[in-house]
A and B are shown apart, each in its own frame.
Chain A
Amino acid sequence: MIANLVQLAAEEEQNPLVPPGPELLVGTIAFAIVFFFFWKKLLPNINKVLEERRAAIEGGIEEAETMKVEAQSVLEQYKAQLAEARHEAARLRQEAQEQGATLIAEMRAEGQRQREEIVAAGHAQIEADRKAASSALRQDVGKLATDLAGKLVGESLEDHARQSRVIDRFLDELEEKAEAGR
């Protein structure tokens, strides 16, 4: 076999740099198939997928970005609402306090007024009673005195007394004296 090979080698051109024709053809075909398959089918295939993946990743990032922004704005909104609510509550409390205070003041004023009214009414009643009592007393005293004097004098002085108002005058004097003596 070795002898065969050597013989074969001797028969052929011994220059390894001269390419044999059939091998050139096989090499060309072998590489051409690889190249066209890569060019037409496999690389477009994978490039499409790589592009899709890139888009998916970018899309995901973009989505996350928008969601983050949205969440931020919602948070801000909530914070603003919360602050507003707190402010409102404080305002309401303040208002209620003020209203309460004015209410209390009003009630107090009203009470005061009513008390004063009652007291005034009492005073007027007392005065009226006193006046009525004093006038009734005066009449009675006058009548009693006249009766007494009539009994003593023996004659009725009634009409005369009524006309002359002697008794009234006398009683006024008495009153004045009493007041002066007080």
Chain B
Amino acid sequence: MSDGCGFPAPGLHSFLFKPIATVGGYEFNKVMLLAIITTILVIGFFYAAFGKAKVVPGKLQMVGEAGYDFVRRGIVYETLGKKEGEKYVPLMVSLFFFIWIMNIWSVIPLAQFPVSSVIAYPAVLAAVVYVTWVSLTFKRHGFVGFFKNITGYDKSLGPVLPLVMIIEFFSNLLVRPFTHAVRLFANMFAGHLMLVMFTVASWYLLNSWMIPAAGISFVMTMAMIVFELFVQAVQAYVFVLLACTYIQGALAEHH
């Protein structure tokens, strides 16, 4: 099909960019630029909102406070409680807004690419969370306690205990950071593929008798944008919620 009309089916090459510039032998591409703009946007917005915070808030501060409160109360306090959770609020708040803005690029004209659909970015964030909860588990439970916590050591399991311990060890220590990163990555990756697919299709279907199909494809593009907006927020939420859950597990007394 692609031979005749030149339709470029979206695929892995949709996630590769020619470098914009080369910095010291390293290629600087669009995704890196978007990641940096993300940082500027998040800090810029929250600086405008909280930089000169007032007791009687302005509109911007109110919006910022709503977002801050959503993460603080809605996620951190819910899972970790106020006393234990307070320490992790800065991490979770920055994670949430950083991820959310990285995701939102997916539907922003000219950008139109979710930064988190490149595995490096979710991997970095998952690694930060991983280091946080693993070191916390060590600090809380000591060396033996760490392994008891990680392997779900429970004497009442009897003969299946070794099996459970092996599974839990792999699931918690090795698979968990991977799934944590890939969950976000894959959602954004798939979402971007769908968007590219329908967008490109609505353009290439604009042939005499295919125009109705192009119309359908365009409607689908719109629908996908709305759906993606939803998924972007949900994935940011899920990522932070999981991070909190991992920390909660690290704090939990082994039974």
Footprint of B on A, CB under 8 Å? 2, 4-6, 8-9, 12, 14, 16-20, 22-24, 26-28, 30-31, 33-35, 37-39, 42-43, 45-46, 48-50, 52-53, 56
Across-interface contacts of B12 in A (CB, < 8 A): 9, 14, 16
Closest Cβ of chain A: how far from B40's Cβ, in Å? Answer: 9
Footprint of A on B, CB under 8 Å? 6, 8, 12-13, 15-16, 18, 26-28, 31-32, 35-36, 38-39, 42-43, 46-47, 49-51, 53-55, 57, 64-65, 68, 89-91, 93-95, 97-98, 118-121, 123-125, 128, 182, 185, 189
Closest Cβ of chain A: how far from B172's Cβ, in Å? Answer: 20
Q: Is the CB of B124 within 8 A of A27?
A: yes
Q: Is the CB of A27 within 8 A of B53?
A: no
Across-interface contacts of A52 in B (CB, < 8 A): 55
Q: Is the CB of B53 within 8 A of A46?
A: yes
A101 and B128 alpha carbons, distance in the complex (Å): 102
Q: Is the CB of A23 within 8 A of B31?
A: yes
Partner of B13, one of A6, A23, A27, A35: A6
Chain B interface main SS type = helix
Chain A interface main SS type = helix
Q: Is the CB of A46 within 8 A of B65?
A: yes
Q: Is the CB of B46 within 8 A of A33?
A: no
Across-interface contacts of A16 in B (CB, < 8 A): 12, 15, 119, 189
A56 and B119 alpha carbons, distance in the complex (Å): 47
* A42-B35 contact given A17-B119, A31-B98, CB 8 Å threshold: no
Across-interface contacts of A2 in B (CB, < 8 A): 6, 8
Q: Is the CB of A38 within 8 A of B35?
A: no
Q: Is the CB of A46 within 8 A of B64?
A: yes
